[in-house]
Structure formats: structure tokens, C-alpha cells
Amino acid sequence: MTKFLSFISRAYVTLVFCIVFMPMAIILVISFSADSYLSFPPSGWSLKWYGTVLGNTSFMQGFRNSAIIAVIVAALSLALGLPAAYALVRLDFPGRALIRSLVIAPLVLPAMMLGLGILMVFTPAGLVATYPGLVLAHLVMTLPFSIRILQTSLSNLGTDVDEAAMTLGARPLQVFMQITLPRLTPGVIASSAIALILSFDEIVLSLFIVGPRLQTLPVALYRYVDERTDPMVAVLAVLMIALSLAIVLVVERSVGFAKAFGR
């Protein structure tokens, strides 16, 4: 009986893995196709589509834009999220509980609604199809994540160590810079990595406010797929997955994800 159960559970896990990884595996295979249309399995092999992608100005422009925006968004998420998380965990002020729950509101609202709202605010403000506009829109997505992760890390630190520093003569700013912040490194890295990935992959909000002069990579890819389907799409997907994976690996290697999320 237990043998049977163990077989069932193993089969189940295998099935889930297949469902999750099959599309990625197929995309990876197709990216090395020599065909000029999407077909599986490909009739021949080549690296030519990788070359085509790297030579495509629209994609390369999109990549550059996305990378710049993602880096700025990650930095701002940290710069804005850290003080917010600190206040929500360590300081006592009226309405703290309410703000704590409101912070995650953007995560539960449909992205379409958010996008529409952002468009309505950004158009009169002249922020559509600008770097600041895209950065702001992405921050709406990433800040709740950053604040939540930093909030968890911060409350897991407890207050004893900071208080010990205080009794040894450290003023609050010294405590924060010399004790709290260094101990918060895993959370800082994790929240930045998440913000970076979220911003780089973001499409729904971006679709509302990109313009012909300023496109992100996911939007460029989306538009391209609308018109044509060739293995170039698979190549781009592979490259984007590889980038996200690289960031995740860096986090895992430097601090470990379990630690980064404060468990």
C-alpha cells in the first residue's frame, strides 16, 4: 500500500514537472531550429536565429530599454521600500495595520485595471512613453513585493541585537547603518533581484504606456509574435529565461533563497 502511494506521489511530481518544464524544453529545442517557421520537432538545426535576434534593432533597443528600466526600478524599489518596511515593522504610528494591508493591494488588483488607471493618470502628466513613466508604472508592481520581503526579513531580525548596539552607545542612525543594514543584506539582495526580474519581464502595464519611440523587450516580443511566428521568438524567450535564471542563481549562490526570504 505504501509502495503504491509512493509510486503515485512520484508519478504526480513527475507530471507536475513535465507540465512546468515541457514548454520551456520545447522552446529551447525550437530556438536551435533551421526552419523559417515554428515547427516541432524542427527539420534541421542551426544557430542562425540567435544571430538574427542579435542583429534585430527593435529587439536590441527593447533589451537596452528593459535593462535600463529594470536596474532603475530595482534601485528605487529598494530605496523606497526599505524605509517603508522599516516604518511598518519597527515604528508604531496610527493606521499602521491598515497601511500594512493596503501595501499589497496592487498585487491583488487585476493588472488590466492598474494599467488603465496608470494610463489615465500618466497621459495628462505627459509620462506616457517615457523612461520615468515606465519606471513609475513598474514600481507600482515591484514596490509591494520589495516592501513585503524586506518587512519579513526585518521582523525576523528581531530587536535584541539593535537594542544591544544602542546600550553600547550607538545612536539610531549608527545602529541602522552598522547593525541593521548589514544583517538585512539577504533581504536586500532578494528584494532587488525580484524587482529586477519583475520589471524586466513586465508586459501588461508596459503595453498601456509604451510608444513607438520607447519599447521594452517583452512588448517588442509581443508585437512581433502578433505579426509573425518564427524561431526568433523562441530564441528571445530562451534568452529572457536565461537572464532570470542567472539572477536567481546569483541570489541563491550569494545568500540562499531560503535565507533571503527569512526562513
Partner 1 sequence: MSLASTPAHIRIDKLTFDYGGERPAVDTLSFDIAKGEFIGLLGPSGCGKSTTLRMFAGLLAPTSGKIIMGGEDIVSRPPWERNLGLVFQSYALFPHMTVAQNVAFGLRLRKVGKEESAARVAEALRAVRLEGFGNRRPAELSGGQQQRVAIARAIVIEPEILLLDEPLSNLDARLRDEMRFEIRDIQSRTGITTLFVTHDQQEALTMCDRIAVMNGGKLEQIGTPVEIYDKPATPFVAGFIGRANSVPATLRLGPGAPRLEHEGQALPAPDLQELPSDAADGAKLAAMVRPHAIQLSRQDGDGLTARVNRSVFVGSVIEVELELAGGHKLVAELRPGSAEAQLAQPGADVALTWRTTDMRIFAA
For partner 1, the binding residues (CB under 8 A) are 158, 160-161, 163-171, 174, 179, 182-183
Name which of 67 and 166 has its Cβ closer to partner 1.
Answer: 166
Q: How far is the CB of 177 from partner 1 (least distance, A)?
A: 12
Other residues' Cβ atoms within 10 Å of the Cβ of residue 146: 29
For residue 247, give the nearest of 178, 199, 184, 175 by alpha carbon.
199
Q: How far is the CB of 182 from partner 1 (least distance, A)?
A: 5
Name which of 162 and 201 has its Cβ closer to partner 1.
Answer: 162
Name which of 171 and 213 has its Cβ closer to partner 1.
Answer: 171
Distance CA 83, CA 9 (A): 45
Angle ∠(205,63,211) on CA atoms, nearest 5: 45
Distance CA 111, CA 43 (A): 39
Grid cell digits, residue 213: 519611440
Q: How far is the CB of 258 from partner 1 (least distance, A)?
A: 16
Which residues have CB under 8 Å from 232's CB, separation 6+? 49, 52, 53, 56, 224
Q: What's the one-letter identity of residue 49?
A: W
Name which of 85 and 179 has its Cβ closer to partner 1.
Answer: 179
Name which of 160 and 226 has its Cβ closer to partner 1.
Answer: 160
